[in-house]
Structure 1
Amino acid sequence: MDGQKFSYNFFMNFYKELIENSINPFILFSETGEIIEYNKEGEYLLSIAPKEDLYNLAVSHASMSFGFKHTFLQLDIGHATYCAITVGYLDSEHIGLMLHKNTCGSKVQKSSKDLQPANIFTLLDIAINTHLDQTKITAEYDISIPEFKLDINHFLKLLNKIFRTLKNAQKLFIKVHIAMGRSLKIDEKRYRVVEVIIESEEITKLDKIEDEQFIITVNNNQLHIELPFIS
């Protein structure tokens, strides 16, 4: 009996961790469209896509009766392409959505001509101290990220442009982390993604910002910069 209980708990915890660390976003909704649970990729998806749109996507592709339904399609959200969705419900109060990422068609970025090892946190501090002396900064940095190669001058120019535009913001939230399940393709090689998230009520001033080297997404009050983790 104890062995069965242990086995059940083990597998439940295993499946929970498997979903949490999947490269595919998972979101569980209530019957009214409220978010109940999501994994790491689901959190990112919700940062760039309205929850109402994702809920409607789930409902429109759900089966007519209790169970799970798989639909193959091509769906582009942000810089990701999805090739299928799975929608399932076991009662009338919950509905789950999983989008299946098309990893073969993931992002491609041009190589840089001048790459140098750099500490991304130092570069951020330089730009922040230059432009945001009156702004309250809250930072969430994954300090386990070591130095990696990038075009230092170009990246600093981008940061200076961003923070110069946001210099009148009262407060700013900055997060730097390794983006789970995402990659950038450069010269036929794939690299993990270091993501810089800048959040402010002033972000709308950067709606039109573009860059020839870095992938930038602006949604709601957040700006996302994706950098290849080239060691």
Structure 2
Amino acid sequence: MNLVSTDFKFFIEYDANPFVLFNAKGKIVYLNSSAEMLMGSCASEKLFDVTLSYAPKSFGYKKTLIDLSFGYFEFYAINVLYENEDEIAIHLYNKPMPKINNKVNLEGYSQTDINLLFEANIELFKMNYSGKLEL
């Protein structure tokens, strides 16, 4: 075991992945800043149920690959940890955001006035439609 005298609470607090620590009754003891945002989309009881469902059978931790979502928040894995009967924690791992290509290659395409296309389609529609048409 590596003995480091660093207070890891700072690193957990500002981690991009939500971390929630519950007491044995399911009440939140601690949550990091990412988990604060998550709690706006998820009831603490629901998250506690997920935590208990994926907890290891004995003290320690259990990482699980899982497709999990709460509102707009999507996760690909969780880590449930506990070392005593009084507290249990869950660390949720955010799904990576898809890369969006902002540069669109328009080579080979010509610039078109969309209003001209609409007018042409309206005229074609009028030719095949005998009813009254109003805009």
Do the structures match in fold with TM over 0.5? yes
If each structure's helix is expressed as a fraction of its own residues, which one has the higher value? 1
Residue number in structure 2 paired with 1:102: 95
Q: Deviations over 1:59-108 (max 9, x none)?
A: 000000000000001112221210000001000010001100012448xx
The answer for unaligned runs of 5 or more in structure 1 is 107-184, 189-231
Instruction: Report the alpha carbon displacement of residue 48 of structure 1 after superposing the two structures with TM.
Output: 1.2
- Greater than 4 Å deviation, 4+ residue runs: none
Residue number in structure 2 paired with 1:221: none
**Whole-Å separation in 2 of the counterparts to 1:36 and 1:76:** 22
1:105-120 matches, cutoff 5 A:
105=98
Q: Does 2:69 match 1:76? A: yes
Aligned-residue CA RMSD (Å): 2.0
**Whole-Å separation in 2 of the counterparts to 1:20 and 1:186:** 32
For these two proteins, the number of residue pairs brought into alignment is 101
State the TM-score, normalizing by the size of structure 2.
0.69
Q: Say if 1:186 and 1:76 are closer, same or farther in 2 by CA, change over 3 A.
A: farther
Over the matched positions of the two proteins, sequence identity in percent amounts to: 30
Q: Does 2:50 match 1:85? A: no
Q: Does 2:27 match 1:34? A: yes
Instruction: Report the alpha carbon displacement of residue 186 of structure 1 after superposing the two structures with TM.
Output: 7.1
**Whole-Å separation in 1 of the counterparts to 2:58 and 2:12:** 24
**Whole-Å separation in 2 of the counterparts to 1:79 and 1:38:** 19
Q: Say if 1:187 and 1:30 are closer, same or farther in 2 by CA, change over 3 A.
A: same
If each structure's strand is expressed as a fraction of its own residues, which one has the higher value? 1
Question: Over alpha carbons, which structure has the higher Rg?
Answer: 2
User: Are 1:67 and 1:88, in contact at CA under 8 Å, matched by a contact in 2?
Assistant: yes
Which of 31, 55, 66 is the aligned partner of 1:62? 55
Larger relative CO (CA 8 A, sep 6+): 1 or 2? 2
The answer for unaligned runs of 5 or more in structure 2 is 104-135
**Whole-Å separation in 2 of the counterparts to 1:91 and 1:105:** 38
User: Are 2:18 and 2:38, in contact at CA under 8 Å, matched by a contact in 1?
Assistant: yes
